[in-house]
Amino acid sequence: MLKRQNPSSPEHSRELAADGGALSMSHNDSRSVFNLSQLVLSAGQIKPSPALKHSKITYFEVEIVDVQSKKQICIVDKVSPASTLLDVKHKFHKACPQWYPSRVGLQLERNGPFLKDSISIQSLAVSSIITLYFTDLGQQVGWTTFFLTEYTGPLLIYLLFYIRLSTIYDQVESRKNFRHPVVHLACFCHCLHYIRHLLETLFVHKFSEGHTPLKNMIKGCAFYWGFTSWMAYYINHPRYTPPSFGHKQVSYAALAFLMCEAGNHFINVALAHQTNSGNRTCFPSPTYNPFTWLFLLVSCPNYTYEAGSWISFTVMTQTLPVGIFAFLLVIQMSLWAQKKHKLYLKRFYPEVGRKAAMIPIIF
């Protein structure tokens, strides 16, 4: 219980003098101060106002705006903070069935990059209303479908030319001319190459749930299928002439082709093993397998082996269409390798800094 001091006591007078003035306080004033202090002590901790208690946002509203016309398409309401952008795309698809999630591209800014499906809605929010810009990405296909279609075509097309259909070659000329052994070897190597790609697509590579536009698959199929038809027509033609240096040229080139195919497979297995194990913090290191030692020189050895396969196939068949196809493929893969190399430099600079992108450079 608090004890009230007498205002007229000497101790109280000294306290008032120490505060800088001889202040007088009436008996009623001291009683009111005493009652106020008792009220504060008995009230305990001051509670927050009800407005602060409910200030946390429980749901978001996502406004979908057309990137070209800037007109609002719809509003996706009741989006929880734990939702991802893919959840928003599914709700958007329910409101607008003509746009399924894989063909919907959403941007935070009109000229900004497309947002990934895994991004959290809460990380994009500045307020309870989020504005996203919509772009129709067109009809989409899965990556597995993309590669299976792209690689199955060349395999079947080459076999059609190999059996020399009557609609392609003259049957009298086909029976009359003897097939050189390199024609059979070229068919074996070509089929081996695409069968390896198909098996790796099904059992080695692990593709994300992402998609790619259908027009990209059409372009890829037109490139591979068209060049396969051109190459197979000349290699399997009844008037095809063997390489200039004969058996020795074919043997060495075929051996180099098989080695590059094996190296490409083991590199893809090593990359897939790193992805499946979740160890993405370090650059893939070579193992006891000699085919993986190329990791010491380049950052994208799978492209190096792929280029080696087609250069070897060019030497083995000594055909102009194969050489043009190999030349264009090496240019394209070098561009892909440079792009990947830049990403590797950001993530694994000490390990990748001295490596080349695709073509080994030995100092």
What pLDDT is attached to residue 122?
Answer: 87
DSSP for 160-196, written as a single string: HHHTT-TTTS-HHHHHHSPPPHHHHHHHHHHHHHHHH
CA 32/CA 53 separation, integer angstroms: 33
Kindly give the pairing relationship between strand 60-66 and strand 72-79. antiparallel
Q: Which residues contact 197 (CB under 8 A, 6 or more apart)?
A: 147, 151
Helix (H) or strand (E) holding 72: strand 72-79
CA 265/CA 344 separation, integer angstroms: 21
DSSP for 77-130, written as a single string: EEE-TT-BHHHHHHHHHHHSTTS-GGGEEEESSTTSPBPPTT-BSTTT-SSSEE
What pLDDT is attached to residue 209?
Answer: 62
Residue given tokens 């020189």 in the structure block:
297
Which one is the CATH code of 60-138: 3.30.70.2860, 3.10.20.90, 1.10.3720.10, 3.20.20.70? Answer: 3.10.20.90
Which of 52, 59, 70, 177 lies closest to 132, judged by CA? 70
Question: What ranges do the domains of the chain cover?
Answer: 60-138, 141-241, 242-362
pLDDT mean by block of 10 residues, the chain; 363 residues: 42 42 44 49 45 57 91 90 91 90 90 89 87 92 94 97 91 85 97 98 84 93 98 95 94 98 96 73 82 92 96 97 97 94 81 81 57
What pLDDT is attached to residue 192?
Answer: 98
Kindly give the pairing relationship between strand 60-66 and strand 129-136. parallel
What's the residue count for the chain?
Answer: 363
pTM reported for the whole predicted model: 0.77
